[in-house]
């Protein structure tokens, strides 16, 4: 896990996003326990409170559940919900790309062609 101290994104949010990505991608599976709060805090050299805040955020989103005395484990994920979350992520990234393209002075067709090229490149990889 990588934490960027001066990214402008709070550390707890960086942790939550990275764990969320691992859960949604299936890297962390249903029933699997997250690293202990103290252990993760020690590994990342951050406060236990910061780590706890990240885990609580994941719990609020329904991705994990706290088990008394055992820590947090990954909940079963609804495949439709997973798909919807990935679609939202794609939409957000595309909106960001559109905004950057406007700043760069790209025309719509040029942006579409760039996207097609990137898709083709990713299929070859």
**pLDDT above 70: residue 20:** yes
Inter-helix orientation angle 48-60/37-44, to 10°: 120
Q: Tell me: do 43 and 90 sit in the same domain.
A: no
**Residue 79: what pLDDT?**
65
Q: Tell me: do 16 and 59 sit in the same domain.
A: yes
**Residue 77: what pLDDT?**
74
| Closest to 39 (Cα-Cα) out of 26, 27, 48, 30 | 48
CA distances from 70 to 11, 32, 35, 40, 65 (A): 24, 11, 10, 14, 10
- CB count within 10 Å of CB 38 equals 12
Q: Tell me: do 54 and 67 sit in the same domain.
A: yes
What are the pLDDT digits (tens) for 60-77?
Answer: 988 999 999 899 999 987
Q: Tell me: do 120 and 88 sit in the same domain.
A: yes
**Residue 2: what pLDDT?**
86
Question: Which residues fall within 8 angstroms of residue 10, CB to CB, at 6 or more apart?
Answer: none
Domain end among 58, 74, 90: 74
Tell me if 42 is assigned to some domain.
Answer: yes
Q: Tell me: do 70 and 29 sit in the same domain.
A: yes
Q: pTM for this one?
A: 0.65
| Average pLDDT along the chain | 90
More confident of the two residues 71 and 79: 71
CA 106 from centroid of its chain's CA atoms: 29
CB 20 within 8 A of CB 63: yes
Q: Is 87 helix (H, G, I), strand (E, B) or coil?
A: helix
Tell me if 83 is assigned to some domain.
Answer: yes
**Residue 78: what pLDDT?**
67
Q: Tell me: do 42 and 67 sit in the same domain.
A: yes
**Residue 83: what pLDDT?**
75
Q: Tell me: do 57 and 101 sit in the same domain.
A: no
| Closest to 17 (Cα-Cα) out of 36, 35, 3 | 3
Domain end among 54, 74, 94: 74
Average pLDDT estimate for 17-34: 90
Residue range of the domain that includes 25: 11-74
CATH code, domain carrying 46: 1.10.10.10
DSSP H/E element including 64: strand 64-67
Q: Tell me: do 21 and 63 sit in the same domain.
A: yes
């Amino acid at each position: 896990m990588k934490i960027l101290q001066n990214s402008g994104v709070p550390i707890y949010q960086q942790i939550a996003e990275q764990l969320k990505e691992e859960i949604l991608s299936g890297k962390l599976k249903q029933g699997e326990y997250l690293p202990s709060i103290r252990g993760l805090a020690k590994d990342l050299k951050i406060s236990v409170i910061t780590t706890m805040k990240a885990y609580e955020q994941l719990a609020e989103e329904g991705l994990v559940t706290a088990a008394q005395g055992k820590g947090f484990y990954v909940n079963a994920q609804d495949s439709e919900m997973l798909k919807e979350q990935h679609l939202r992520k794609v939409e957000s990234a595309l909106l960001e790309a559109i905004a950057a393209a406007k700043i760069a002075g790209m025309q719509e067709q040029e942006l579409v062609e760039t996207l097609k090229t990137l898709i083709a490149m990713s299929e070859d990889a």
